Amino acid sequence: MLEVGKKAPDFSLLNQDGNKISLKDFLGKKVVLYFYPKDDTSGCTKEACSFSADLPKFSKVDAIILGVSPDSVKSHKKFSEKYKLKFDLLADEEKKIVEKYGVWKEKSMYGRKYMGVERTTFIIDENGKIKKIFNKVKVEGHNKEVMESLKA
């Protein structure tokens, strides 16, 4: 179980352009690492577009945004282009990172149980340590609560 104050697990994943992105590349910056279930679904689209719209505010506090889901590079590319997203979406098709971060969970919809990503955001400080964890994120206003946490 990941906890505030612990080192965030490093990873290397491909972004929507097929470039390898590693967490350690961002030492010295704050990282908003958010995990979401699926590209181009209503909640995930709203969350991504909110973060993208507020990117200048995040840049001002020296924070970068990384979105992670089990979708493919191709799916991320399409999603990113459709909504003109201005940050990297990382493809975790093998689900190694969602498992490492503890967000791959049993979910339930209409009485049916299945495995999926629980919408979760980690704020990682300049030294690679977890500063804050937002579990079971509600999309509405989430970008603002993340910003408040970064300013604190």
* 93-151 pLDDT tens trace: 999 999 999 999 998 888 899 999 999 999 999 999 999 999 999 988 898 999 999 98
| 93 in a structural domain | yes
Mean predicted lDDT score pLDDT of the chain: 94
Place of tokens 């030492």: 27
Place of tokens 């590209």: 39
At residue 127, φ and ψ (nearest 5 deg) are -95, 5
- Side chain identity, residue 69: S
Number of domains forming the structure of the chain: 1
| 7 in a structural domain | no
| 11 in a structural domain | no
Domain that holds residue 79: 26-151
Residue 152 has pLDDT above 80, yes or no: no
Active-site option among 44, 85, 91, 146: 44
> What mean pLDDT do residues 43-57 have?
93
| 84 in a structural domain | yes
Q: Which CATH number belongs to the domain containing residue 96 in this structure?
A: 3.40.30.10
* CB neighbour list of residue 89: distance below 8 Å, 6 or more residues apart: 15, 16, 39, 48, 66, 67, 68, 69, 71, 76, 79, 80
Contact (CB, 8 A) for 99 and 30: no
pLDDT at position 151 is 84
CB atoms within 10 A of CB 80: 21
pLDDT at position 133 is 95
At residue 45, φ and ψ (nearest 5 deg) are -65, -45
pTM, two decimals, is 0.94
| 140 in a structural domain | yes
| CA 150/CA 41 separation, integer angstroms | 27
The answer to whether residue 44 is catalytic is yes
